[in-house]
Each structure stands twice: as C-alpha cells, then as structure tokens.
C-alpha cells in the first residue's frame, strides 16, 4: 500500500509541474498549434509577457502582407554566419592565398631570373675559356700521346660545337642590316605592326620548343659511343641544322627587338600601349582553363623565360637608342618611363594570372616553394660528379630558354653599337670581361648556396646521390611504368615529408578529396617535367 500511495503522489507532483509549465509559457503552444483566440487557461498578465503582445502578434499574422511590413522585415532581419563556419573559413583562406601569391611568385621569379642570367653569362665568360682548353688539348695531343679511346671528353665536344655555332652565326649575322630592318618595320601601319608582333611571339615559342631538341640531338650524335649501331644521319647534317636554327631564331629575335624599338620611338606611343595591353589578353586565355600542379609549374617556367627575354630585348633597344643619340645620358632618362611601364605590365600580368589560376583550381601558395626546390635540384644535380647534362642545357629544357640565339644577337648589337679602337679601348674591354667573369662566379656561388638550402628544406638531398640512367630511354617525356624505381631520380619515391596519397574515407566530401589529391601530389611529378609543350602549357 505504501508503494501505491508513493507512486500516486509522484504522479500528482508531475501533473502539477506540467500545469505550471503550461501556465508559464502558453504562447508557445499557440505558435505551435496555430490556434487563434484566447483560452480561459491564459492569465491576463504573466510577469515579463503581456497578453496585449500576443493579441498584436496574432493580428499581424492574420493581417494581409503590406509594403511597410516587408520593408521593416528587410531592415530588421538578421542571420548567423557561424552556422556555416566551414564555408566562410575556406573563403577567408582563399583571400589569404591571393594575398600571398605576389610574394611567393616573385620569389620564384627572382630565383628563376638569376638562373637564366647564370646560363646566359656562361656563354660570354666560361664557354670561351672551355673552348680554349679543348683546343689546347687537341694541339697538345700528339705530344702527350693517345692515353684513352676518346680524343676529347663529351663535355669538351659539346663546348666545341657551341663555340663553332656561335662563331658561324655571328659571321652570318653581319650580313643582316639592322638599320634597314628598323626602317622597314617603321614604315608599316600600327595595326600591321601589332599583328606582326603577335606572330613573332608565337613563332618564338615554337622555335624555343623545337630548338633545344635540335641541339640535344647534335650533342648526343657527336658524343654517342661508337661501338653502337649507327641510327642517325651523322654529325655534320645535325650541325648544319643547329646552325640554321640558331641563325633563324636570332633573326626572329632581332625583328622582335626592332618592333619594340619602333614602339618606343613612335610619337604618340599608341603602338607601345597596344603591345602592353596585349599582355592582359594573356590573362583571358589562361585564367579560365583547368590547371593541375604540373601545368602551373610549366607556365611558371615559361613566364620566367619570357620575363628574362623581355629584359634582354629592352637592353638591346636602349643600346640602339643610345647609339643614335651619341650616348647622351639625358636620352636614357627619356626612355626610363617607357621601360618602367613595360616591366610593370609584365609583373602585374603575371601576378593577376597566377593569383586567379590558384584561386580557381584550389592550389595553395606553398606550391611555388616546391617549384623553387625543383629548379634548385636541377642546379645542384648538375654540379655532381655523376651529372649527365650541362647546367645551361638543363635550364633550357626546364624553361624553354635557349641562350645561344639571344647571345648571338646581343654580341651583334654590341659590336655594331660600340666602336673599339686603341689600346685603352681594348683594356676597357678586357676589364669589362673580367667584371662579367666575377659577376658570373659570384652569381653561381650564391645560387648554389641558395639551391642547397631549398633542396634540404624539401628533403630532396637523397636524390642527388642516385646514379643517372645507364641507357637512354625511348621517351623522356613518358617513362615506362615497368622501369625499376632506382633507374633515375624522376621515377623514384617522392622527396618530401608529405605522406603518400591514400584513398579518402567514404564519409569525406568529394571536394575535400579532390583538394587533398591536388595538394598531396609528390614532388617526383615536378622532377619528371622536362620541357614538353610551351605553347598551351600542355603536359602529356
């Protein structure tokens, strides 16, 4: 009986508590049920809530919608951003990524610029000395005797071929009149010159894409082991093909420099403005395309090459203009605003293009440090004892920058602009050469130190001690999947500390999975890129 009475008392207490709750907040039941009217259970006044407020709310609900009520609702409505925290955090990270792009991109561009400058200065400083050493070995060979199976080492053979190409192309460029070409271009209309400049830009990319293949074919044909079965057309045909290519590419760059010189010397600067606005058209052709990590790396290398080439063209234009005005320094200050506009337009276009490409393709700004480490790996690996390529050729393959045609044109312009007469002039030339050698050596030392730091940060130093492939592959662009992992540095394990890509759990969203696959791509993909197709930045 005691248990029964206890349960009855507890039920009565629960009923009383429920009744008190209903009496305390009766308006919630009205809102849930949608009833209109007042029940006898509702008291007239409930502490902090008045019955008149319930009546006014019921009248507003039952009233017809009006413009005043809509405007009041628009002015007083609220929302809570924290309900979608992940979305807004992602948007904020994208903004921060775009803000970091200029700094990270310019770090890569500056490093790549000095890499191109190092390869370009090599043509004027160390290459002549290496050619002299190779000639000295040939002259002293009868005295020393034949100690080996080769007359010259493969690197010396390549140096001799580069020196012969430079001498022959420079001799042929003497028959090309720069002044006549300048006046011929100046007589054309503005629209025609604009079209010519665009055609020259496309032709330069096509020449760069095919030119290094011609030079590599010549170097390999000249240094290929003789015991193998001959499957080439011979060294002499390859040599003439290389000379013909370098000569044509030098003329093409000369026409580019002449067109740019005409734009600088035009009275209303309309051609220069049109040519600079053409850079912004490049944004339209690149930003709205799908870009992977490797494609962006190839585009970055192409932008480095274009920027360095444009600086050399500006140097040629300044030299030609200073010669026409008898090296008056006042005229150099007149050229400075136009030069500054060209340089700033190049920088602005690169920043805008890369910022939106990374935004649309969900690529972080840290990827540019990986690109810098890959370029540094090329430099450090070319200094090893087991290196299988010259550093200047490595830069040419990676960026599409071929220094030979540009060097031939610059030598031609300098020789025609500067007259060397007398012992004092030759002394100044010798001192200038020593200064260039000093600059080249200092630049190489600083680059090598920076490259070692970048390689160590990326944990790629183990790849430096791997042996190069003993047999040439049939395709450098698409290595065979059946090759052993230690056949070459580009087909081995990734060099970074990032964990290998694994299958995402089924519970993750598709967007997160795609982002992980993009950002966790191993560094070996970057090392596999040689120089595929510069036009269109396509990766096969």
Q: Which one, of 490, 482, 495, 487, lies nearest residue 522 by Cα?
A: 495
Give residue 266's pLDDT: 78
- Dump the DSSP string for 252-313: HHHHHHHHHHHHHH-SS-HHHHHHHHHHHHHHHHHHTS---HHHHHHHHHHHHHHHHHHHHH
Specify which residues 49 forms β-bridges with: 46
Token reading at 405: 């045609």
Rounded (5°) CA angle 195-201-206 = 125
Kindly state the helix (H) or strand (E) to which residue 217 belongs, with its residue range.
helix 190-223
Helices 391-399 and 85-124, packing angle to 10 deg:
140
pLDDT at position 501 over 50: no
Q: Which one, of 264, 273, 275, lies nearest residue 335 by Cα?
A: 264
Kindly state the helix (H) or strand (E) to which residue 344 belongs, with its residue range.
helix 329-360
Q: Which one, of 494, 497, 495, 501, lies nearest residue 516 by Cα?
A: 501
pLDDT at position 500 over 50: no
What are the tens digits of pLDDT across the range 68-110?
A: 888 888 888 887 877 777 888 888 888 888 888 999 999 999 9
What are the tens digits of pLDDT across the range 341-384?
A: 888 988 988 999 998 888 888 888 889 999 999 999 888 888 77
Give residue 143's pLDDT: 67
Per-residue b/e over 179-204, b at no fewer than 16 CB within 10 Å? eebbeebeeeeeeebbeebeebeeeb
What are the tens digits of pLDDT across the range 98-149?
A: 888 999 999 999 999 999 999 999 999 999 999 999 888 888 776 665 555 5
Token reading at 82: 């924290």
Q: For residue 10, which phi and psi values (nearest 5 degrees)?
A: -65, -40
Q: What is the Cα–Cα distance from 536 to 105, expressed in whole angstroms?
A: 20
The pTM of this model reads 0.72
What are the tens digits of pLDDT across the range 240-279?
A: 999 999 999 999 999 999 988 888 887 767 777 777 777 7
What are the tens digits of pLDDT across the range 442-476?
A: 999 999 999 999 998 888 877 766 655 544 443 33
Higher pLDDT, 489 or 37: 37
């Amino acid at each position: 009986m005691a248990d029964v009475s206890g349960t009855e008392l507890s039920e009565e207490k629960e009923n009383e508590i429920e009744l008190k709750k209903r009496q305390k907040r009766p308006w919630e039941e009205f809102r849930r049920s949608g009833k209109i009217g007042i029940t006898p259970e509702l008291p007239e006044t409930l502490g902090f809530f008045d019955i008149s407020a319930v009546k006014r709310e019921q009248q507003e609900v039952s009233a017809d919608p009006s413009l005043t009520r809509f405007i009041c609702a628009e002015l007083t409505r609220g929302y809570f951003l924290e309900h979608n925290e992940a979305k807004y955090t992602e948007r904020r990270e994208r903004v921060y990524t775009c803000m970091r792009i200029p700094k990270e991109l310019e770090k890569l561009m500056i490093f790549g610029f000095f890499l191109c400058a190092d390869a370009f200065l090599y043509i004027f400083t160390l290459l002549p000395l290496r050619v002299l050493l190779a000639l000295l070995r040939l002259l002293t060979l009868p005295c020393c005797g034949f100690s080996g199976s080769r007359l010259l080492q493969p690197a010396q053979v390549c140096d001799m071929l580069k020196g012969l190409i430079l001498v022959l192309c420079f001799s042929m460029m003497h028959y090309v009149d720069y002044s006549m070409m300048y006046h011929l271009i100046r007589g054309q209309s503005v629209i025609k010159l604009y079209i010519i400049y665009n055609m020259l830009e496309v032709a330069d990319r096509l020449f760069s894409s095919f030119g290094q293949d011609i030079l590599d074919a010549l170097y390999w044909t000249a240094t290929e082991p003789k015991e193998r079965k001959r499957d080439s057309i011979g060294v002499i045909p390859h040599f003439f093909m290389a000379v013909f290519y370098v000569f044509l590419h030098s003329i093409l760059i000369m026409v580019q420099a002449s067109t740019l010189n005409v734009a600088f010397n035009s009275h209303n600067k309309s051609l220069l403005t049109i040519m600079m606005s053409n850079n912004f058209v490049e944004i339209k052709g690149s930003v709205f395309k799908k870009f992977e990590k490797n494609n962006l790396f190839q585009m970055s290398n192409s932008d480095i090459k274009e920027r360095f080439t444009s600086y050399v063209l500006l140097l040629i234009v300044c030299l030609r203009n200073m010669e026409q005005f008898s090296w008056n320094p006042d005229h150099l200050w007149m050229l400075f605003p136009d030069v500054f506009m060209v340089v700033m337009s190049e920088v602005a276009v690169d920043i805008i293009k890369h910022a939106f490409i990374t935004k649309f393709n969900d690529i972080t700004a840290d990827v540019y440090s990986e690109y810098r480490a890959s370029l540094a790996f090329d430099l450090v690996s070319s200094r090893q004892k087991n290196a299988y390529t010259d550093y200047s050729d490595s830069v040419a393959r990676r960026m599409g920058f071929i220094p030979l045609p540009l060097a031939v044109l610059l030598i031609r312009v300098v020789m025609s602009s500067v007259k060397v007469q007398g012992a004092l002039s030759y002394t100044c030339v010798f001192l200038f050469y020593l200064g260039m050698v000093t600059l080249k050596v200092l630049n190489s030392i600083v680059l090598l130190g920076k490259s070692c730091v970048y390689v160590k940060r990326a944990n790629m130093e183990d790849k430096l001690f791997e042996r190069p492939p003993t047999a040439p592959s049939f395709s450098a662009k698409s290595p065979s999947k059946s090759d052993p992992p230690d056949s070459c540095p580009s087909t081995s394990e990734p060099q970074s500390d990032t964990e290998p890509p694994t299958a995402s759990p089924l519970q993750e969203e598709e967007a997160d999975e795609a982002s992980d696959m993009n950002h966790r791509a191993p560094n070996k993909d970057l090392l596999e890129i040689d120089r595929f197709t510069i036009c269109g930045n396509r990766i096969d």
